[in-house]
Amino acid sequence: MSDGSDLRKRNAERTREAILAAAQDVFSTTPYGEASLKEITHRAGANPALVSRYFGSKEKLFEEALSGALDVGMLTSVPRDRFGEAIAELFTTPSQTRINPLPMLIFSAANKETQAIAVALLHKKIMQPLERWIGGADAAARAAEIMAVSTGFFTFQLILPLQPFQGRADEGVRQWLARSLQAIIDG
């Protein structure tokens, strides 16, 4: 039976997961159009033809990769009165292990198909729960504001690098991030 410690060479489930993991890796560091299935499957030790078999298409693979990476818990697991501080700390502490979904979101701008996929998933997996967590009449606006600040920050930290946002960023930038985000939560 296929439990997690299965050592067979051929194992559809395992291969599928390996491709998905590689896709999250690649899609969060490489623009969608430049992320090739050859590269992704190579990293997974698999063959490009399997993407079609297991996911249907590159776009569907992207959808599943993004869906798996989007996790509102990142935000909502933090106490409200420390929100800004905690998120600013998280954003400015580079982590090799955890994959960051925001670059994938930014890269999804690369074509209309992936834009549509991203908008739908963003609503379902982030905006709706985030709005509920925030609560109140203008929760939707405040949730959108949090996304705007976060995405803007990562755009210029990871994709179009500006010096002040590089690496751990400086104290001033961290404080700005913390205060901006806290102000949105406090309303």
Within 54-73, the residues that bind a second copy by CB under 8 A are: none
Query: Residue 99 CB, nearest distance to a second copy (Å)?
Result: 17
Token pair for 133: 């967590």
Q: Does 106 bind a second copy (CB under 8 A)?
A: yes
Nearer to DNA, 41 or 182 (CB): 41
Is the torsion defined by CA of 70, 73, 79, 85 positive or negative?
Answer: negative
In the set 94, 162, 168, 186, which binds a second copy (CB under 8 A)? 162
Nearer to a second copy, 12 or 119 (CB): 119
Cα 159 to Cα 180: distance, rounded to the nearest angstrom: 21
In the set 115, 124, 132, 167, which binds a second copy (CB under 8 A)? 115
Q: Does 118 bind a second copy (CB under 8 A)?
A: yes
Candidates 1-9, 57-65, 71-79, 119-127: pick the segment binding a second copy (CB under 8 A): 119-127
Q: In 86-125, which positions are buried (b, 16+ CB within 10 angstroms) versus exposed (e)?
A: bbbeebbeeeeeebbbbbbbbbbeeeeebeebbeebbeeb
Nearer to DNA, 10 or 79 (CB): 10
Cα 26 to Cα 151: distance, rounded to the nearest angstrom: 19
The three-point CA angle 164-166-169 to 5° equals 65
Instruction: Please tell me the count of residues contacting a second copy according to CB under 8 A.
Output: 47
Candidates 4-12, 51-59, 76-84, 143-151: pick the segment binding a second copy (CB under 8 A): 143-151
